[in-house]
């Protein structure tokens, strides 16, 4: 039986009188940053593989904090809780237990981080910290149980199909074992993961790529050939900077953005991050399922084969090279055409899902925010500021063309897929109680 709840006003009064200022500004954003380090920096997961990991952490954190706060419907679990239980302790326990299960090689370091963090939390009223930990452990266990056998990291080889005909994907040059050279998709299995929100991934089926003999294809082809070339005279310096900026790890960029948008309401922050990261996970899952369904070639292949595609409006260039080429000096890993199919764009899918979710969360598109990236022409990397969420999404779509790695249709299709996820989420999840 769930504990009786106080009114929101009474809860606020109890908290104001009983709980001193926390040593940590907000446990939700603290543990999102800890999770980002574990998933991206230490765990080394690619953006598509990282999306389900972020979703599992933030879904468990949301359920833990929401069990105590009680304003919204749970995602998975609603363990017994009291309004005076420690939301910070619940957050730490939920995030830690999911991360430890996902990254057993990091168990010792995560244990140390967790122990230190929890030791610094207040325990007023007495027992609130232990009670919060129990809530967080329960929601983490629920998440881990729900995601068993969900298609992550399946055994056996993935059935790549390398085509030879017009429009068929193949691994782009330069190829080989050396660092910075194009390698095959490290996480093609993402498309087979059970979605977190939509009941069936085929609900996210995109329109097909443009036929290679069509006028629409020729328009996309000639745009990326001109604007995305390494030696383009039409692309501005700011467009070059934007293309490289958005090549940073997409989940890392957007989680930094969401942390920067967090307010003083811990439960609200947990809800925002869960909404954004679960939408991003389904965006990535739907995207990768579509990529290998359509198996469409990348611009570098298409343009070098342009005289053989049957389209009289596409002049081939056997030496065409995109901006994303290993010879470009940038911070971090070298720039390359990714080793998986073009359609739809992964960044478009994830960014579209998060942007439309944030529009729904804030109730407006007009929110000014600053994004930071670790990818740039030799550091330091300048931040980029946007007045609307849609401005950032538009730039992501453009940036993938400016980089020379995507046709515009793939970018738009990705953003549309992400919007479908966000709209499904808005109708079915994270709604107020009553």
pLDDT digits (tens, 9 = 90+) for 237-275: 999 999 999 999 999 999 999 999 999 999 999 999 999
**pLDDT tier at 13 (50, 70, 90 boundaries)?**
very low
The secondary structure element, H or E, covering residue 371 is strand 369-371
Q: Quick one: CA dihedral 178, 182, 184, 189, positive or negative?
A: positive
Of 276, 274, 257, 254, give the one whose Cα is nearest residue 69. Answer: 274
Q: How far is CA 132 from CA 126, 128, 264, 269, 433, in A?
A: 11, 6, 19, 17, 21
Of 273, 277, 278, give the one whose Cα is nearest residue 29. Answer: 273
What mean pLDDT value characterizes the chain?
93
**pLDDT tier at 175 (50, 70, 90 boundaries)?**
confident
User: Where in the sequence of the chain do the CATH 1.10.606.10 domains occur?
Assistant: 188-428
Q: What pLDDT is recorded for position 415?
A: 98
User: Where in the sequence of the chain do the CATH 1.20.144.10 domains occur?
Assistant: 8-146
Q: What pLDDT is recorded for position 15?
A: 34
Cβ atoms of 293 and 161 within 8 Å: the answer is no
Cβ atoms of 316 and 242 within 8 Å: the answer is no
Q: What pLDDT is recorded for position 12?
A: 35
pLDDT digits (tens, 9 = 90+) for 119-132: 999 999 999 999 99
pLDDT exceeds 60 at position 96: yes
Cβ atoms of 374 and 248 within 8 Å: the answer is yes
Residue 246 CB contacts under 8 Å (≥ 6 apart), including other chains: 253, 347, 373, 375, 395, 396, 399, 400
For residue 3, count other CB atoms closer than 10 A to its CB.
14
For residue 339, count other CB atoms closer than 10 A to its CB.
18
188-428: in CATH 1.10.10.10: no
pLDDT exceeds 50 at position 16: no
The structure's pTM equals 0.93
Secondary structure of residue 385 in the 3-state scheme: strand
Residue 430 gets the label, from left (phi > 0), alpha (psi -120 to 50) or beta, of left
Residues in the chain: 434
Q: Which has the minimum average pLDDT: 49-53, 170-174, 355-359, 403-407?
A: 170-174
* 384-386/369-371 β-pairing: antiparallel
The secondary structure element, H or E, covering residue 268 is helix 266-294
Q: Higher pLDDT residue, 10 or 214?
A: 214
pLDDT exceeds 70 at position 9: no
The CATH number of the structural domain formed by 8-146 is 1.20.144.10
pLDDT digits (tens, 9 = 90+) for 277-300: 999 999 999 999 999 999 999 999
| Structure tokens belonging to residue 174 | 């330069």
Q: How far does the chain reach from its first CA to its final CA, in angstroms?
A: 18
Q: What pLDDT is recorded for position 177?
A: 74
Q: How far is CA 349 from CA 182, 300, 408, 410, in A?
A: 22, 21, 13, 10
């Amino acid at each position: 039986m769930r504990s009786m709840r106080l009114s929101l006003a009474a809860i606020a009064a109890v908290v104001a009188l009983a709980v001193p200022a926390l040593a940590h500004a907000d446990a939700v954003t603290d543990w999102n940053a800890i999770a980002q380090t574990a998933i991206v920096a230490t765990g080394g997961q690619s953006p598509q593989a990282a999306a389900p990991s972020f979703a599992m952490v933030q879904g468990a954190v949301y359920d833990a904090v929401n069990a105590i706060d009680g304003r919204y419907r749970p995602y998975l679990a609603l363990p017994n809780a009291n309004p005076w239980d420690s939301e910070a302790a619940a957050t730490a326990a939920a995030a830690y237990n999911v991360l430890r299960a996902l990254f057993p090689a990091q168990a010792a370091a995560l244990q140390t981080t967790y122990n230190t963090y929890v030791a610094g939390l207040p325990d007023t009223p007495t027992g609130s910290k232990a009670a919060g930990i129990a809530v967080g452990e329960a929601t983490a266990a629920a998440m881990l149980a729900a995601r068993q056998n969900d298609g992550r990291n399946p055994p056996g080889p993935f059935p790549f199909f390398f085509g030879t005909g017009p429009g068929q994907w193949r691994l782009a040059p330069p190829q080989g074992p050396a660092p910075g050279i194009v390698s095959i998709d490290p996480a093609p299995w993402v498309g087979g993961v059970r979605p977190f929100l939509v009941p069936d991934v085929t609900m996210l089926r995109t329109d097909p790529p443009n036929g290679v003999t069509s006028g629409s294809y020729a328009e996309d082809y000639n745009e990326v050939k001109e604007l995305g070339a390494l030696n383009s005279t039409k692309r501005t310096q700011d467009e070059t900077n934007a293309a490289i900026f958005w090549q940073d790890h997409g989940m890392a960029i957007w989680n930094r953005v969401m942390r920067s948008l967090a307010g003083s309401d811990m439960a609200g922050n947990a809800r925002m991050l869960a909404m954004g990261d679960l939408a991003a996970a389904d965006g990535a899952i739907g995207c990768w399922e579509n990529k290998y369904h359509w198996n469409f070639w990348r611009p570098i292949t298409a343009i070098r084969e342009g005289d053989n595609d049957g389209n009289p409006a596409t002049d081939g260039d056997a030496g065409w090279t995109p901006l994303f080429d290993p010879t470009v000096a940038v911070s971090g890993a070298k720039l390359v055409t990714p080793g998986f199919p073009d359609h739809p764009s992964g960044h478009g899918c994830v960014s579209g899902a998060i942007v439309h979710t944030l529009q729904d969360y804030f109730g407006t598109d007009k929110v000014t925010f600053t994004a930071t990236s670790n990818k740039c022409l030799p550091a330091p990397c300048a931040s980029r500021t946007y007045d609307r969420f849609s401005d950032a999404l538009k730039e992501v779509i453009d940036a993938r063309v400016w980089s020379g790695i995507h046709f515009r249709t793939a970018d738009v299709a990705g953003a549309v897929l992400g919007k479908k996820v966000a709209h499904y989420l808005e109708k079915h999840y994270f709604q107020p109680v009553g």
